[in-house]
Amino acid sequence: MRLLVTSLIMTCSMSLSFGQTISAQAGVAGADFSDALGAINGGYAADVIELATDGGFYELSAADSVTVPLTIRAAAGLAVKPTIRVAVGDTIGRYLKVWADLTVENVIFDGKRSDGSLNAFTSKDVVAFAPNPVTGTQENTPRMDVTFKGCEFYDVSEDGSGGYSGKANAIRLVKENTDAEDGVKALYGVLTVEDCHFENIYDEVILAQKVSGTDDPAIRAADSVYVRNTTFNNCAGPDNQGIICWKGAKGAQVLTAVLTLENLTFYNSNPRTIYSRESENFTVRNILIANTNPLGKAGTLINIDRDGSSISYIDTTGIDTTGMSAVVMFTGGPGESTGFGNATIDSTTIFGYDPGFADAANGDLTIGADSPVCGIGYGGQAISDLNWATACAVNTSVDDNVYMADSFQLHQAYPNPFNPSTTIGFSLDNAAQVKLNVYDLRGALITTLVNNNLEAGHHSVNFNSNAAAAGVYLYTMTVNGQTYTRKMVLLK
């Protein structure tokens, strides 16, 4: 290792300090991706690995770990994203096991080797997040902030056959010190998956299994989870596994502050696209599900439960139930085992339009400006991964009501998450005294946005967060003795 690190340092720079970048060159001995990662894990003072070879293949011969906060990214200006894959002749159970903050930008993870053979992901995942094995306990492991942006994952299965007989995930939380799925002990702070593409993944794509056995907020599985502007193509698994699964322990309350899945496209994939169990505050919206590929026994396109959870603005087309005993389109309600809370489904925003893909058979899911799913989604956006909907204009006339009382309607803050400001809209049936307050999660009053007599009609007010810290905030509206509270998230 001493010679390896020396070679890497000579290739990159003679005097790096913490916060510096290592430029990794594909196929260059001593300066490849695995060399850079080994050097940083070994104490070399850098926190960014930049994959600098245009369209380069960074071939791993052994699994590795991310043990310190790290960014892995493609160098700016590359015409083709770099790819991390397995070297011919090697089999790797997983690519990375992570127990520190990680950001990955514009990188491809491919399970196919250069000779066309497939790697067998025997650890059942490409990237796994787990507690630090040195500290050994969940409580001593800091929450990991994890971001995948502009990344692509291809050809992931457990047996390497390329069929649907193996189980393997792209991104997974695992149990403390083991890979067993019966009780997650790793903890996310904020998990963000944005502008990504998943294809040929043969089990759940993003999985958190039995994420909590307690209602203690100090060890909840995540503070917030965001998956947006992302596509899942030909993703499926045995027994109709869900594509995105956030599975709370049966009978236990799951205190995840915010889970938001929005502007997602599922094509030729399992009918069970999203599955949430015993999870609060799970928002699912602007989801396009097309041409499902049934492989399991039964299923639900989208399943949510518990307080604060909702399904809205969904378009489905070509739902194939061949050979399946039953398919329930959408389910929402109380927790499966606890019976606690209540999720809602906005049936008025469930559609069945053909989006008119440009060339779906060849992987082009672009929708044109005349597509019926343009402008009908939450926020006036298209119901689609917006990377396929660049021709769609935003429809500012779309009404995004999320709560209707007897005398008023309270709208979801938009944008949400936001930085630095967001707009809260509300409507009154009659003139009334209105109070609208913003609180932090401890219940401390941040500001009063409205405390006036207002006329009937639609109103909006801006909340500027310049003086506020990043985190989850509550906004509460009271009219004629009726009060309702929603959540919004400030990202900085």
Give the DSSP letter of residue 348.
Answer: G
- How confident is the model over 19-43, as pLDDT tens digits? 699 999 999 999 999 999 999 998 8
DSSP string, 397-455: T---EEEE-SSEEEEPPBSSSBSSEEEEEEEESS-EEEEEEEEETT--EEEEEEEEEE-
**pLDDT at 412 exceeding the cut of 60:** yes
Residues paired with residue 448 on neighbouring β-strands, in sequence order: 437
Is the pLDDT higher at 371 or at 457?
371
**What is the pLDDT at residue 484?**
81
Residue 296 pLDDT: 55
Q: What is the pTM of this model?
A: 0.79
- 6 Ramachandran zone, left/alpha/beta (phi>0; psi -120 to 50): alpha
* Sequential DSSP letters for 352-398: -----EEEGGGTEEEE-TT-TTTT-SGGG--SS-GGG-TTPPP-TT-
Range in 118-132, 194-208, 385-399 with the lowest mean pLDDT = 385-399
pLDDT of the residue at 389 = 97
Distance CA 207, CA 210 (A): 10
Give the pLDDT score at 334.
87
The DSSP secondary structure of 129-196, one letter per residue, reads E---TTT-SGGGSPPEEEEEES-EEEEE-SSSSSSSSS--EEEEE--TTS--SSS----EEEEEEES-
Q: What is the mean pLDDT of residues 373-401?
A: 84
- Choose the weakest-confidence range: 87-91, 225-229, 404-408: 404-408
pLDDT above 80 for 455: yes
Q: Which residues contact 390 (CB under 8 A, 6 or more apart)?
A: none
- pLDDT, residue 428, reads 85
pLDDT for the residue numbered 404: 58
The confidence score (pLDDT) of residue 17 equals 38
Q: Which positions ≥6 away from 387 have C-beta within 8 Å? A: 195, 229, 231
Question: Residue 165's pLDDT is what?
Answer: 67
* pLDDT tens per residue across span 361-383: 999 999 999 999 998 898 888 99
Answer whether residue 490 shows pLDDT above 90: no
Would you say residue 7 has pLDDT above 60?
no
Position 2 confidence tier, pLDDT thresholds 50, 70, 90? very low
